[in-house]
Amino acid sequence: MLKTTRTLAAAAGLAMLAASVFAPAVARAQDTIKVGILHSLSGTMAISETTLKDVMLMLIEEQNKKGGVLGKKLEPVVVDPASNWPLFAEKARELLSKDKVAAVFGCWTSVSRKSVLPVFEELNGILFYPVQYEGEESSRNVFYTGAAPNQQAIPAVDYLLANEKVERWVLAGTDYVYPRTTNKILEAYLKGKGVKAEDIMVNYTPFGHSDWQSIVSDIKKFGSAGKKTAVVSTINGDANVPFYKELGNQGVKAQDIPVVAFSVGEEELAGVDTKPLLGHLAAWNYFQSVDTPENADFIKKWQAFTKNPKRVTNDPMEAHVIGFNMWVKAVEKAGTVASDAVIDSLIGVTVPNLSGGYSAMMPNHHISKPVLIGEVQENGQFEIVSQTPGLVVGDEWSDFLPDSKSLISDWRAPMSCGNFNTATGKCGGKGS
Amino acid sequence: MPRALRLWAAMLLVVAATAATLSGALAADLKPLVRNLGAGGFADTEAAIAALAQTGDPAVVPVLQALEAGDLYVRKEDREVVRGSASNGGYTLTDPLGGAALGEAGRGAVDKIRINNSLRRAISAALGSLTLMSPDAGARRAAADSVFKTRNPDGLAALETALGRENDPAVRSIMEQARAAILLTAAGTPDADRLGAIETIRARGDQESLALLNAVRSAEGASAAVRAAADKAFEAVEMRLSLWGMAQNLWYGLSLGSVLLLAAIGLAVTFGVMGVINMAHGEMVMIGAYATFLVQDAIRTYAPGLFDASILIAIPVAFLVSGAVGVLIERTVIRWLYGRPLETLLATWGLSLVLQQAVRSIFGPTNREVGAPSWMSGSFELGGLVITHGRLWIVIFAFLVFGLLLVALKRTWFGLAIRAVTQNRNMASAMGIRTARMDALTFGLGSGIAGLAGVALSQIDNVSPNLGQSYIIDSFMVVVFGGVGNLWGTLVGALALGTVNKFLEPYAGAVLGKILVLIFIILFIQRRPRGLFALKGRAVEA
Amino acid sequence: MLTRFLLLGLDKRAGVLLTVLAVLAVAVPVMALAVPPDSPFHLPMHSVSLLGKYLSFALLALALDLVWGYCGILSLGHAAFFTLGGYAMGMYLMRQIGPRGVYGHPELPDFMVFLNWKELPWYWQGFDQFWFAALMVLAVPGLLAFAFGWFAFRSRVTGVYLSIITQAMTFALLLAFFRNDMGFGGNNGLTDFKEILGYDIQAPATRVGLFVATVAALAAGYMVASSLVASKLGKVLVAVRDAESRVRFLGYSVERYKLFVWTLSACMAGVAGALYVPQVGIINPSEFAPAASIEAVIWVAVGGRGTLAGAVLGAVLVNYGKTYFTAALPELWLFALGGLFVLVTLFLPKGILGLAADRFRKREPAAAVPAAASKGA
Amino acid sequence: MSAENTLLYVDGVSVSFDGFRALNSLSLIIGPGEMRAIIGPNGAGKTTMMDVITGKTRPNTGTILFEGGTDLTRMDEAAIANLGIGRKFQRPTVFENHTVWDNLELALKNPRKTWSALAYGMNPKDRARIEEILDITRLSPRRERLAGSLSHGEKQWLEIGMLLAQDPKLLLVDEPVAGMTDAETEQTAHLLKTIAGTRSVIVVEHDMVFVRELGVKVTVLHEGSVLAEGSLDSVSANRQVIDVYLGR
């Protein structure tokens, strides 16, 4: 009997101990404003996301030099969600409820954003998402500083139609949501422009696909039908290097079959010998080669911060720069870091971007940006060959998909809705 | 090819320079045309290129080449088009037409004339018609190819003149094909010429010919005879291409198989021979790739002339580095775990995490660039096969490594000792073999071979901390499919899986193809629970 | 008879573990819901879900230990069963969203709408009913395991060959579920759940409820597993692990025993996955990754292979370590975790519980694996 | 020959591994209740013969019938064991992580189905039987010990005890006294004879002293087929046998 009691007591103690480990530390005096950084530092996505963590640290350091925000210093809270999607949700929850961060800058892949979305909505946090994505989403708690399909894919296709007179299209992508959606939109768009179904070839490959021999040879075959052919690539990060190496080796020249990519930037090209890739294209809202004083200044600071004079910059970094500056401005406007106030004051905030203009946060939580088309140069940089004359506003609900055609998003009162249906006049999607 | 072009460019410069001095008057006529190159947008530049090409003057050639290379600038003060080469902080300017020195200019004083793909195409078309009669056979060939592609009827006269003078049979045949292409595309060609052209194109027999023939047979207003001939030729070419397509698939399979072989063969030693389930095998491959990167980086910095040899130099370095890491791992971790294969799985899994993160900390998480030496880039055609040099060398390298390993294990004292230790440790030890040292060396050998795989993979894949992870599962599949402990099994397994994968890919797509291969392996293991080349008889149960 | 069977498994260690679980089941709800937030004894909601996640991993570890620790089948693909169970639950939760998706479609999940699917595929039918989904949580992993085991055990695929084909199985599933054409949401998987059995999935009470359900499932799983290993069937399993062909010559059909425990284990893993999904809020194909299965093996090894309590302990400890290190040492945690695996295998070959057992010279009931006999791979 | 009234009927069985013929048209008949010793030099096919009878190895050709009608070549090990054929291995194979008692419990003749094992509870009849076997094999004091901790000889006896618990009609015993002292050998011979009783037994042995001790009919195997059969004295006088053993 005694033994049982002792066992019970021991077990109870253990359980209490276990539970207390999870209880938050007693809250300290709030003399700083915490900013969460939720980027993978290990696993498959570390390759892209680590840079974004660094750029955030730089921005925060700089802001602190300028005196912080609302008279308080900013304190970065870095966690590693390790390219593990459920871990993203867990870490987001930790940042919001344990560390009580004022805003989170993070995520790269769509799935990580999808994973944290309910957490941000539940705990009313603020997430700045810096990467180009498929659209079809608008959340009150998320600010999308990367490109929506209309800020990247459609202008790129327009460029190819107008300047390269492309008639046949290969839509090659990694099999996940972003390429699928983008290609759906592009297919609808191209068909609207009179391209026949047999002149569009769609191809999906798994993540990290490394043997591109057959596919590149198929592309060559498809491209030798006598009509000008181009490849629109939504191939994901890791698979790009072997893809471009194979393109180079099989002699697919940009003059014959140009490849325009939406996920290949300066960072990705840093791992490839670009000589055979001369002239292949990419569409972004920013290139390192943008020739403005703001950009030169940013590059200088970045290379000094990373102590690497060759370190490149890229589009998602600029998105974080814009997002961070917007947040700072909105917090100052609202005079508080409280989520609701900041969320409301963010809309309409305008900050300079690095390509010489001003980007504004729109009511749909997407921003306005210029669209640039660049050609790969020998030095791994992009030569900008086209730039939209004005800014393009991110369109979260594509006009080219039947189910999202009539949806809009406007987070201002009184509508305050992420999926307002203009046909039925109701919030909540298509309605039944 | 690029080398030939460069050579040709250099020769041409000389020729052009003399031509320019001889015909100063002509150069003066060209001047305003050249000036138009810097007039404004891409469309203006394109028009200027066309105008320059129209002159048919060889002096234009170096100007266009400079434009293509991105060496032409507009001087801001007088909108003059100049040729610039970078020199400390600014540019040294020369006249693109005569080559006369025009002094220096600061970075802000000139604007680069930007070119894009359509300009590049325009330039190569222009150069094509201008260089058909170049003294260099390679250039003439490139020019003829370019004419074939553009099929510009205006170039027919120039092409026929060139054909009349051409002596080189290879170039001649391309020119004839180009002529046929123009004849088939142009309106109003007599039927007899068309029929002849169809025959020429049929003989060419590649994908472009197919497209051309298809255009002919579906063209409006073609006569029945032409249409029938085109139909027949189309079918013949299609047939030929589909046969070559099979061969091409076989080659792709062989090439994928050899990559799998390289990745798996080191594992066949550590896992197959020693029984160590080495989950850090992929990281040994990765270390080999990073060693290659380091070697190449050092060569780029200190001895750029040796760049083409960098991969060759990297081979022994990668072997030694990965091998040394392997020996270190064996001495510190694995040797405590012999006879407990499962524990080696856990410990090496831990090691693989540590190694990945270590590389990420040292080299950063992003990809590193490993360039291809000139002898490994580009491709050549063998009949209807397109074979890239890089892949060909990897296939050869894989077989070489396999052969050497086989010889090392079967024909040398070292191999004998390894086999003795793995078969009967006590007996080997009693015979004076230092078993501990043999273990370390064997593990080092397996790791070193993984490092060699890293050298090859650096040519076709990302050099990133994740490199190893993407090959580890495939490697285990290959070794198990082939039969653990049998090198020949690994060879056949790798090639079989590679080929099956490549034959499935066109029908099922890359993803489904891979899934089917995995299901095939699962089912195959049911039929032969010990792999393809299993040991039979009583020894199995021992 | 069932009572007798269940009592079989109640030894002292089980007593401790079940007591801990009982205390957790009472203390956590009280600390999370009743204790005011400013009290030091208050348990924040994210910790509840976190604990729930650990415990569902513990159930997976338990399932794995049953086949590996007791029957010698080293599965490097157990996460596949876990994930399939998770998907079955995820499909139920998806159907519960109903017209509240972003497109407001009454039936189709969002991802189907934007891929232009017109109607629900046949294999999504029925998942709007909880009982059906619950059945599938058991049936899908169970049937896959049964089919896989039926072939593999009959063909006498053993050792490392079996381990590698389990890995091939989970890898094939990974690739298959990545495909958007499969109709399981591709890479994004299933997410943005709203409610379960009519309760708001984000409400604190629901979270606590899910946690208690996980504790109950783990306790039940533990009872079943420990009774099983204490029964004659358990003795046969250990005998199979140590000398498979001897068992055959005694007249036991080894295949059937393996198949039984393998299928049971897959069902347990499926339940674990089903409990995991509502607590983390997402299920996607990366859970099929071979690395996930290997990690589960590591939990068991760290805790102590062949001791059920060890599997539970290992899963909780390693995952807690992962949570802790990813926040405390975001750049270095892989060194810490990787180093831990190396050190545990080198210095704690029998896992933490094995060490404890050696320390206190407690006699193990026919389970702990002596180093020499652990030819599991 | 006819399969009627035989317990085991082996006719024309051949097995080859990778070209090596381990059994070459082997024929052998064991009657009910008979004890038979099999001798032969290394590689004569003794162990392979046992493998073939117990279903571990499938013969390439030939017939093996049990009790005159059951074809063993189509059955797996477990099914053959359940017909009543027990086997003892050359190296003692017991379940080292189980106690002596549990080893016997597992071997005890009870339904082998999974569900029966799950629902099994020790009953007085089984308990008595295990006690009895423990006494016969003199392992009573060791009952709670893990089998792995037993001495070599004790393991041999435990294995024989397990055979006994199986209550087979035919016992195949492979070198039961290898590595035993003379005294142990003698005891083992005695033990085997006691348990034989009404059962048929096939003993493979090298040890001639032991075979003599058994005093039963002897079959000599050579290169996978029967060379001679008869009493030990008659076969040891056989010219061919002497040649084989002396390697002439």
Mean pLDDT rounded to a whole number for chain D: 85
Q: Identify all chain C residues contacting D54, using CB atoms and an 8 Å cutoff.
A: 249
Structural domains of chain B, with CATH: 2-123 (no CATH), 154-222 (no CATH), 245-541 (1.10.3470)
Q: Identify all chain D residues contacting B483, using CB atoms and an 8 Å cutoff.
A: none
Q: Give the model's pLDDT for residue A288.
A: 94
Q: What are phi and psi of B425, to 5 degrees?
A: -60, -45
And the tokens for D32? 């009910």
pLDDT range class, residue C238, cuts 50, 70, 90: very high
- Report the C-alpha gap between A178 and A131 in whole angstroms: 11
- A197 CA: distance to closest CA in chain B (Å): 18
- Are B213 and B201 in contact by the 8 Å Cβ rule? The answer is yes
Taking every pair of Cα atoms in chain D, the longest distance, rounded to a whole number of angstroms, is 60
- Report the C-alpha gap between B165 and B132 in whole angstroms: 10
Asked if B536 reaches chain D (Cβ–Cβ under 8 Å), the answer is yes
Q: Could you tell me which residue, C84 or A423, shows the higher pLDDT?
A: C84
Residue A392 pLDDT exceeds 80: yes
Q: Identify all chain C residues contacting A137, using CB atoms and an 8 Å cutoff.
A: 102
Inspect the structure and tell me whether chains B and A have 3 or more CB pairs less than 8 Å apart.
Answer: yes
- Report the C-alpha gap between A289 and B112 in whole angstroms: 14
Amino acid at C162: L
Residue B482's closest chain C neighbor by CA? C161
- Are B406 and B487 in contact by the 8 Å Cβ rule? The answer is yes
- C208 CA: distance to closest CA in chain A (Å): 14
pLDDT per residue as tens digits for the range D185-199: 888 888 887 777 778
Q: Identify all chain A residues contacting B214, using CB atoms and an 8 Å cutoff.
A: 225-226
pLDDT per residue as tens digits for the range D154-178: 888 898 889 888 888 898 888 887 7
Q: Identify all chain B residues contacting C171, using CB atoms and an 8 Å cutoff.
A: 473, 518
User: Region C329-344: what's the mean pLDDT?
Assistant: 87
* Percent over 90 (pLDDT), chain C: 49
Q: Could you tell me which residue, D161 or D20, shows the higher pLDDT?
A: D161
pLDDT per residue as tens digits for the range C87-102: 999 999 999 988 888 8
- Report the C-alpha gap between A43 and A112 in whole angstroms: 13
Residue B94 pLDDT exceeds 50: yes
- Report the C-alpha gap between A211 and B498 in whole angstroms: 10
How many alpha carbons lie under 13 Å from residue A399 in its C-beta half-sphere? 7
Residue B257's closest chain A neighbor by CA? A211
Residue C50 pLDDT exceeds 70: yes
User: Region A13-26: what's the mean pLDDT?
Assistant: 47
Residue C313 pLDDT exceeds 80: yes
Query: Which residues, at least 6 apart from A388, have a Cβ–Cβ distance to it below 8 Å?
Result: A155, A370, A371, A372
Residue A47 pLDDT exceeds 60: yes
What are A232's strand-pairing partners?
A: A171, A260
- Report the C-alpha gap between C83 and C87 in whole angstroms: 6
Provide the H-helix boundaries in chain C: 2-8, 12-29, 45-68, 78-97, 110-114, 130-154, 159-178, 204-230, 232-242, 244-249, 254-280, 290-303, 308-328, 333-347, 351-360
Test A50 with B365 for CB contact under 8 angstroms: yes
- Report the C-alpha gap between B351 and B446 in whole angstroms: 16
Test B377 with A383 for CB contact under 8 angstroms: no
pLDDT range class, residue D44, cuts 50, 70, 90: confident
Q: Give the model's pLDDT for residue A431.
A: 45
- Are A184 and A192 in contact by the 8 Å Cβ rule? The answer is no
Helix (H) or strand (E) holding B49: helix B42-55
Test D106 with C239 for CB contact under 8 angstroms: yes
- Are B128 and B146 in contact by the 8 Å Cβ rule? The answer is yes
Is residue B152 helix, strand or coil?
coil
Taking every pair of Cα atoms in chain A, the longest distance, rounded to a whole number of angstroms, is 91
Give the Å distances, CA to CA, from D53 to C27, D13, D80. 62, 10, 8
Q: Identify all chain C residues contacting D114, using CB atoms and an 8 Å cutoff.
A: 233, 256-257, 260
Task: Single out the residue of A286, A304, A239, A251 nearest to residue A382, CA to CA.
Answer: A286
Q: Kindly report the number of other CB atoms within 10 A of residue B3's CB atom.
A: 10
Q: Give the model's pLDDT for residue D71.
A: 87
And the tokens for A404? 């999202």
Residue C127 pLDDT exceeds 70: yes
Chains contacting A (3 or more CB pairs within 8 Å) = B, C
Considering CB atoms only, which of C74, C172, C334 is closest to B518? C172
pLDDT range class, residue A30, cuts 50, 70, 90: low
CATH of region A32-147+292-370, choose from 3.40.50.2300, 2.60.40.1530, 3.40.50.2000, 3.40.50.620: 3.40.50.2300
- Are A48 and B464 in contact by the 8 Å Cβ rule? The answer is no
Asked if C125 reaches chain B (Cβ–Cβ under 8 Å), the answer is no
- C285 CA: distance to closest CA in chain D (Å): 34
pLDDT range class, residue C45, cuts 50, 70, 90: confident
Q: Give the model's pLDDT for residue B506.
A: 84
Considering CB atoms only, which of A97, A403, A432 is closest to C46? A97
Full DSSP string of C23-80: HHHHHHHIIIIIS-TTSTT---HHHHHHHHHHHHHHHHHHHHHHHHTTT----S-HHH
Domain with CATH 3.40.50.2300 in chain A: 32-147+292-370, 153-261
pLDDT range class, residue A81, cuts 50, 70, 90: very high
- Are B497 and B517 in contact by the 8 Å Cβ rule? The answer is yes
And the tokens for D2? 């006819």
Q: Identify all chain C residues contacting A97, using CB atoms and an 8 Å cutoff.
A: 44-46
- Are D92 and C356 in contact by the 8 Å Cβ rule? The answer is no
Residue C289's closest chain B neighbor by CA? B473
Q: Give the model's pLDDT for residue B7.
A: 54
pLDDT per residue as tens digits for the range A198-249: 999 999 888 888 889 889 989 988 988 778 899 999 998 778 888 988 888 8
- C44 CA: distance to closest CA in chain A (Å): 6
End-to-end CA distance of chain B: 60
Q: Give the model's pLDDT for residue A6.
A: 52
Give the mutation candidate from B246, B366, B380, B499 for the A interface (greatest A CB count, under 10 A): B366
Inspect the structure and tell me whether chains B and C have 3 or more CB pairs less than 8 Å apart.
Answer: yes
Q: Are strands B385-388 and B379-382 parallel, antiparallel or unpaired?
A: antiparallel
Residue B372's closest chain A neighbor by CA? A273
User: Region C334-358: what's the mean pLDDT?
Assistant: 83
Residue A324 pLDDT exceeds 90: yes
* Percent over 70 (pLDDT), chain A: 92
Q: Give the model's pLDDT for residue C377.
A: 34
Inspect the structure and tell me whether chains D and B have 3 or more CB pairs less than 8 Å apart.
Answer: yes
Residue B290 pLDDT exceeds 80: yes
Q: Kindly report the number of other CB atoms within 10 A of residue C155's CB atom.
A: 17
Q: Could you tell me which residue, B142 or C292, shows the higher pLDDT?
A: C292
Query: Cα A85 to the chain's mean position, in Å?
Result: 16
Query: Which residues, at least 6 apart from B262, have a Cβ–Cβ distance to it below 8 Å?
Result: B394, B397, B398, B401, B452, B453, B456, B457
Residue B261 pLDDT exceeds 50: yes
- D18 CA: distance to closest CA in chain B (Å): 7
Residue C265 pLDDT exceeds 90: yes
pLDDT range class, residue B26, cuts 50, 70, 90: low
Q: What are phi and psi of C89, to 5 degrees?
A: -65, -45
Q: Identify all chain C residues contacting B350, using CB atoms and an 8 Å cutoff.
A: 337-342, 345
User: Strand (E) positions, A310-365?
Assistant: 350-352, 358-360
Is residue B419 helix, strand or coil?
helix
Q: Identify all chain A residues contacting B469, using CB atoms and an 8 Å cutoff.
A: 44
Asked if C248 reaches chain D (Cβ–Cβ under 8 Å), the answer is yes
Residue C372 pLDDT exceeds 50: no
And the tokens for A297? 């200044």
CATH class of this structure's domain D8-246: alpha beta
- B535 CA: distance to closest CA in chain D (Å): 9
Considering CB atoms only, which of D18, D47, D48 is closest to B536? D18
Asked if C177 reaches chain D (Cβ–Cβ under 8 Å), the answer is no
- Are A40 and C333 in contact by the 8 Å Cβ rule? The answer is no
And the tokens for B20? 């320019």
> Angle at the Cα of D104 (from D99 to D105), degrees rounded to 5?
95
- The domain segmentation of chain D, as residue ranges, is 8-246
- A279 CA: distance to closest CA in chain B (Å): 6
pLDDT range class, residue C360, cuts 50, 70, 90: low
Q: Are strands D8-17 and A350-352 parallel, antiparallel or unpaired?
A: unpaired
Residue C83 pLDDT exceeds 80: yes
Considering CB atoms only, which of D81, D94, D105 is closest to C251? D81
Residue B536 pLDDT exceeds 70: no
Considering CB atoms only, which of D17, D47, D48 is closest to B536? D17
Q: Identify all chain A residues contacting C49, using CB atoms and an 8 Å cutoff.
A: 90, 93
Q: What are phi and psi of B442, to 5 degrees?
A: -65, -45
Considering CB atoms only, which of B207, B378, B510 is closest to A249? B378
The residue whose two tokens read 């993540």 is A207
Q: What are phi and psi of A163, to 5 degrees?
A: -95, -30
Test A210 with B470 for CB contact under 8 angstroms: yes
The residue whose two tokens read 């595309």 is B185
pLDDT per residue as tens digits for the range A273-319: 888 788 899 999 999 999 888 999 999 999 999 998 888 999 999 99
- C166 CA: distance to closest CA in chain B (Å): 8
- Report the C-alpha gap between B345 and B334 in whole angstroms: 10
Is residue A32 helix, strand or coil?
strand
Residue B359 pLDDT exceeds 70: yes
Chains contacting C (3 or more CB pairs within 8 Å) = A, B, D
CATH class of this structure's domain A153-261: alpha beta
Considering CB atoms only, which of C20, C191, C323 is closest to A115? C191
Asked if C235 reaches chain D (Cβ–Cβ under 8 Å), the answer is yes
Q: Give the model's pLDDT for residue C362.
A: 42
